[in-house]
Structure 1
Amino acid sequence: MAKRDAVFPAKPHALYEHHRYSPAIRSNGFLFVSGQVGAREDGSPEPDLGAQVQLAFDNLNAVLAAAGASFADVVDVTLFMIDPDAIFETVWPVLQHNWGEKPFPNITAVGVTWLAGFTFEIKVIAKLPGGADA
């Protein structure tokens, strides 16, 4: 079995250690990023929804940067939202601000009932620049 090549941002929040998961795994030229939430350094949720969504993107971008990538390298996005009808108008402008230029990645949005105290989560797969594994 191949060894997992875990990627951690420079300043990881406490959830990775507390829940025992890696922020991302690099494999065969791709980066598989765990769902990122608007967690503060101590792992607690940012209470303001717009700021929580932005912090989720900040955490995501830190993981991507640690692998030598950026959001421009993202090819697949999955969003998880509690009560999407109620929060969409707050979430969408933050997404657009962080989305970058065309061509945009594909996206799947899913309404969920539980995100461990969070309201929004973003999970992505990125093609690493040059297809490099390391």
Structure 2
Amino acid sequence: MKKSLVNPWKWQDQLGYAQAVEIPHGTHTLYCAGQAAMKADGTPLSSDMSGQIDLSFDNLETVLSKAGYSMKNVVRLNFYTTSIEQFFAAYGQVIERLRASDCVASSTLTEVNALAFPQLQVELEATAVR
């Protein structure tokens, strides 16, 4: 997959995302539902933000892998959280996960009142192309 990052500035580089990602001739697109800290049995993980971020990324990677994609194919990654303050306190691990998988996607971070279950604090929504 050929992709071009569109970054008119440099400040977003330290945050691990791109202002835009262009895919000139993508042949397949995968739209992933929001992935949260849900255990394999369908129950939410009651944990701190750090633990929920890890499991949310694990779940996203599982969905991507099952469809024949990886984090490197992700071109859009949206974050929904019930606390931007707590999310940014754990943001170092987000950056680590993105860098380890060579993922630079366009991204939006939104604080919401609630997610599907009261225990959930973060949800990741991705679009991948190959």
TM-score of the pair, normalised by structure 1: 0.68
Alignment partners' CA distance in 2, 1:81 and 1:74:
19
What letter corresponds to residue 98 of structure 1 in structure 2?
R
Which of 112, 119, 122 aligns to 1:120? It is 122
Q: 2: CA distance between counterparts of 1:105 and 1:31?
A: 14
Aligned-partner residue type, residue 51 of structure 1: G
Identify the residue that residue 107 of structure 1 maps to in structure 2. Answer: 107
Contact 1:45 1:52 in 2 (8 A): no
Task: Report the 3-state secondary structure (helix = DSSP H, G, I; strand = E; otherwise coil) of the residue aligned with 2:46.
Answer: coil
Aligned: 1:29 with 2:28 = yes
Secondary structure of 1:72's aligned partner: helix
- Which runs of 5 or more structure 1 residues have no equivalent in the other structure? 1-27, 129-134
Q: How does 1:23-62 map to 2 (within 5 A)?
A: 29-49=28-48, 50-62=50-62
Q: Distance in 1 between matches of 2:45 and 2:62?
A: 17
1:72 maps to amino acid: K
User: For 2:63 and 2:103, how far apart are their aligned partners in 1?
Assistant: 22
Q: How many residues align?
A: 100
Distance 1:63 1:32 in 2: 10
CA distance in 2, matches of 1:88, 1:54: 14
- CA pair 42-109 structure 1, distance change in 2 beyond 3 A: same
**Unpaired segments of 5 or more residues in structure 2?**
1-26
Q: What do the CA deviations read for 1:46-95 (whole angstroms, capped 9, x no partner)?
A: 222211110000000000001111000000011000021233212x1221
- What is the aligned partner in structure 1 of residue 23 from structure 2? none
2:83 is the alignment partner of 1:74: no
Mapping of residues 89-100 of structure 1, within 5 Å: 89-90=89-90, 92-100=91-99
Query: What RMSD, in angstroms, separates the aligned Cα atoms of the two structures?
Result: 1.6
- Over 3 Å counting, the alpha-carbon distance change for 1:86 and 1:57 in structure 2 is closer
Contact 1:31 1:127 in 2 (8 A): yes
Identity rate of aligned residues, in percent?
25
